[in-house]
Each structure stands twice: as structure tokens, then as C-alpha cells.
């Protein structure tokens, strides 16, 4: 990732471009900037107003300091059996933490909707409750992970990786999560959740006829059901899940965060929120330490 001034200015700017904010190489200006750990507009203006002349920013020291201050965005994986609540929780996590939600299942359903050869092949496997072959799914997820919005805001990977080979493909790219959330739900509940699930094609919102019913008649009348949401198919999907989950878990043991998914979605999120907030707090401490080290050198 290119060294960027976004931490200070709220705009992303390569260190080799002429900035609209003052150079970090003036000692006066630098002192003031680094006293501001906040990204608030007010403090940013303090920083700008103290510089009278623009200077080229590309001294080695300036770049080093800026790079040290660069915040690493948050990386979250969420896993669990079919209908354990991954999509439901992702919606809430995304809204609170601003991460880019990448759902392997959604990417595959979008591919099916295009009518492409890959989509047709994917559907054959999904109808049998089996994993779609890696040659289709790995590239799809990898390409999405490389997009600029992900680099900028961090990611929330839902339903990926689902096998050791998929996890290893990420490892080979140096992609690791800060936290691996595992939703644990009993099998009886999973079947009930699958058969009662409905989707709003207009908003993308997930409903459940019993646990999360539509708000009004208009929404209720347009809800759809997924082609793989039958009792027969969910049993096949569950079998596939249990065949693969252990090998994936073993790779992320050190960042594993298990959550009881048998309770209400609000209670599930409350636990997830604690886990992610603790990680963020830890990252802030590390960022401050590396920023201080950058200034000291
Ligand atoms: P995918 O779309 O990922 O399906 P899944 O893993 O089976 O998970 P679901 O989307 O069914 O459930 P969810 O956990 O998101 O639950 P939700 O929040 O909707 O994958 C589909 C297929 O694509 C796979 O079978 C496979 O073929 C293929 N595929 C996907 N990824 C792949 C990969 N990496 N490699 C190869 N193939 C891949 O909730 C479910 C219902 O429960 C909803 O109605 C919701 O309202 C309700 N609910 C949620 N939380 C609660 C709660 N706490 N209490 C009560 N109700 C709740």
C-alpha cells in the first residue's frame, strides 16, 4: 500500500503527489500535526493554518513518518454453518464498523444471475449443497479483495475460506484476519432458520417468517426464497460444512472468537461487538506505538 497522508487530512494522497496540506518536513508543522491523534476537521485546520509555504514532501523522513502513521484497516472473517446468522450479523457489523462485506455466496449468486458458464457450473454444485470448485470461487473472492474500497475500509469476509485449500490461497497472498468469528448454532435451529428465511430483492435485507418478519404487506408480497433453502438441501449443506470446518478453524485458532448464535440477533451482535472493539483498541495502541517510533527516529 502506498504511503498515504490520509491519516492526517482525511483525503488519500500518495506521498509522491503534491499535497494540498503543508509539508511534514517543517519541524514546527510536524510537531503540531503529531500532537493531534484525532482526525477531526478542526484539528486538521490547525495543522494547515500553521504552514505558510508548501515544500516538497518527499524527504525520506517525511515518508517514513507518514508510513508509520498509516492505519491498517480491520480484517474480519465470519464463519458458521448454513443459516447460523452470518449474513444477518454482517449487515450490522458493516453498518457499525464501515467494513466492506464480501460474501462468497452472494458473489456466486450474482455470477449465476449473469447466466455465464461459471454461473451455470456454480449452480450445479450449490444445488447439491457442495462447495463450488476453487477455480471459480477463489479468483472471484481474490479479485474483490483487491479492489480499492477494500484496501481503504477493511474487509468482512463471509463464508470464505470454507476449505483448507481456500485458506491456503489467502495465506499465499499474505491475507490473514485480525479476528475469525465462529457462530455456533445447534442443528435443529439451523434447519428452521433455513426454511423460514426470505429475502427482499429490492433492499437485499434478510427476513425470517417467524424470527424477523417483514415490516409491512408491501414488503411481504415481494419476498423471495433461495433455491437452496429447502430442508433436503440444507442437510447436504450442513454435511459439507462439517466436513470442512475443522481444517479452516485449525489455521485461525490464534485469532478465533467463538460466539453463541442460538440467541437473538441483538445478543449475538453484542458479543461480536465486544470482540471487534477489543481488536480495534489493540490496533490503536499498536498504531500509536509505531507512530511514536516513527517520530523518535
Ligand atoms: P452461502 O450463501 O454462504 O450460504 P451458507 O453458508 O449456507 O449460509 P447462509 O447464507 O445460508 O446463512 P447465514 O449464515 O448467512 O444466515 P442468515 O444471516 O441468512 O453459500 C451458499 C452456497 O454457495 C454454499 O452451499 C456453496 O455451495 C456455495 N459457496 C459459498 N461459499 C463458498 C466457498 N467459499 N467455496 C465454495 N462454495 C461456496 O440467517 C438465516 C436465517 O435465520 C434468516 O432468515 C435470519 O433472519 C435468521 N436469523 C439470523 N440470525 C438469527 C438469530 N440470532 N435468531 C433468529 N433468527 C436468526
Q: Is the pLDDT of residue 162 over 50?
A: yes
**Among 94, 128, 122, CA closest to 109:** 122
Is 60 exceeded by the pLDDT of residue 231?
Answer: yes
According to the model, what pLDDT value does residue 118 have? 96
Lowest mean pLDDT among 29-38, 56-65, 86-95: 29-38
CA distance 269 to 190: 18
CB atoms within 10 A of CB 72: 12
Question: Is 237 a catalytic site residue?
Answer: yes
Of 143 and 33, the one with more pLDDT: 143
CA-nearest residue, atom 30 of ligand 1 = 105
Q: Is the pLDDT of residue 37 over 50?
A: no
Pocket test for ligand 1, best of 78, 79, 88 (most atoms within 8 A of CB): 88
Mean pLDDT, the chain, rounded, equals: 80
- Compute the Cα dihedral for 199, 203, 121, 244 and give only its sign: negative
Confidence at 293, pLDDT banded by 50, 70, 90: confident
Give the model confidence (pLDDT) of 184-228 as tens digits.
999 989 999 999 999 999 999 999 999 999 999 999 999 999 999
Instruction: Round to whole Å and give the CA distance between 271 and 29.
Output: 42
Indicate if the pLDDT at residue 40 is higher than 60: no
Pocket of ligand 1 from Cβ distances under 6 Å? 80, 82-88, 104-105, 108, 125-126, 129-132, 137, 159-160, 162, 166, 193, 196-197, 206-208, 211-212, 237, 261, 264-265, 268
* Ligand 1 centroid distance, CA of 84 (Å): 6
Give, to the nearest 10 degrees, the angle between helix 134-145 and helix 117-127.
Answer: 110
**Stated pTM of the model:** 0.78
Q: What residues have CB less than 8 Å from 174, skipping those under 6 apart?
A: none
Q: Which atom of ligand 1 is nearest to the CA of 212?
A: 46
Atom of ligand 1 nearest to the CA of 82: 7
- pLDDT: which is higher, 201 or 42: 201
**pLDDT per residue over 276-290, tens digit each?**
999 999 888 887 777
Half-sphere CA count of 239, side-chain side, radius 13 A = 9
> How far does residue 129's CA lie from ligand 1's centre (Å)?
12
Q: Which residue has the cell 464480501?
A: 102
Question: Where is 173: in which H helix or E strand?
Answer: none
φ, ψ of residue 125 to 5 degrees: the values are -70, -40
Specify the pLDDT at position 46: 29
* Contact partners, residue 37, CB within 8 Å, separation at least 6: 288
- Overall residue count recorded for the chain in this entry: 297
Element (H, E) at 163: none
pLDDT of amino acid 292: 77
Q: pLDDT at residue 82 above 70?
A: yes
The predicted pLDDT at position 22 comes to 28
Q: How far apart are alpha carbons 267 and 39 in whole angstroms?
A: 31
Question: Residue 77: phi, psi to the nearest 5?
Answer: -115, 145
Q: How far is the CA of 115 from the centre of ligand 1 (A)?
A: 22
Which of 21-30, 44-53, 231-240 ranks highest by mean pLDDT? 231-240
Res 6 pLDDT > 60: no
CA of 103 to the centre of ligand 1 (A): 9
Amino acid at each position: 500500500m502506498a504511503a498515504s497522508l490520509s491519516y492526517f487530512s482525511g483525503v488519500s494522497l500518495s506521498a509522491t503527489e503534491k499535497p494540498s496540506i503543508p509539508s511534514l518536513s517543517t519541524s514546527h508543522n510536524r510537531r503540531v500535526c503529531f500532537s493531534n491523534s484525532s482526525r477531526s476537521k478542526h484539528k486538521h485546520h490547525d495543522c494547515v493554518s500553521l504552514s505558510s509555504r508548501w515544500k516538497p514532501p518527499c524527504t525520506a523522513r517525511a515518508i517514513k513518518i507518514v508510513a508509520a502513521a498509516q492505519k491498517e484497516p480491520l480484517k474480519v472473517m465470519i464463519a458458521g454453518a448454513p443459516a447460523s446468522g452470518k449474513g444477518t450479523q454482517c449487515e450490522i457489523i458493516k453498518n457499525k464498523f464501515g467494513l466492506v462485506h464480501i460474501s462468497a455466496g452472494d458473489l456466486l449468486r450474482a455470477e449465476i444471475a449473469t447466466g455465464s458458464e461459471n454461473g451455470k457450473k456454480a449452480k450445479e454444485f450449490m444445488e447439491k449443497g457442495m462447495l463450488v470448485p476453487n477455480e471459480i470461487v477463489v479468483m472471484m473472492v481474490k479479485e474483490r479483495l483487491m479492489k480499492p474500497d477494500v484496501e481503504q475500509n477493511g474487509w468482512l469476509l463471509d463464508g470464505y475460506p470454507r476449505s483448507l485449500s481456500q485458506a491456503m490461497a489467502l495465506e499465499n497472498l499474505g491475507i490473514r484476519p485480525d479476528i475469525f468469528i465462529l457462530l455456533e448454532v445447534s442443528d435443529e435451529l439451523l434447519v428452521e432458520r433455513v426454511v423460514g428465511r426470505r429475502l427482499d430483492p429490492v433492499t437485499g435485507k434478510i427476513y425470517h417468517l417467524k424470527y424477523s418478519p417483514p415490516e409491512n404487506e408491501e414488503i411481504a408480497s415481494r419476498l423471495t426464497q433461495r433455491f437452496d433453502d429447502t430442508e433436503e438441501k440444507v442437510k447436504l449443506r450442513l454435511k459439507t460444512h462439517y466436513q470442512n470446518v475443522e481444517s479452516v478453524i485449525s489455521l485461525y485458532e490464534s485469532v478465533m472468537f467463538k460466539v453463541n448464535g442460538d440467541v437473538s440477533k441483538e445478543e449475538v451482535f453484542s458479543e461480536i461487538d465486544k470482540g471487534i472493539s477489543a481488536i480495534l483498541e489493540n490496533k490503536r495502541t499498536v498504531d500509536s506505538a509505531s507512530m511514536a517510533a516513527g517520530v523518535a527516529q
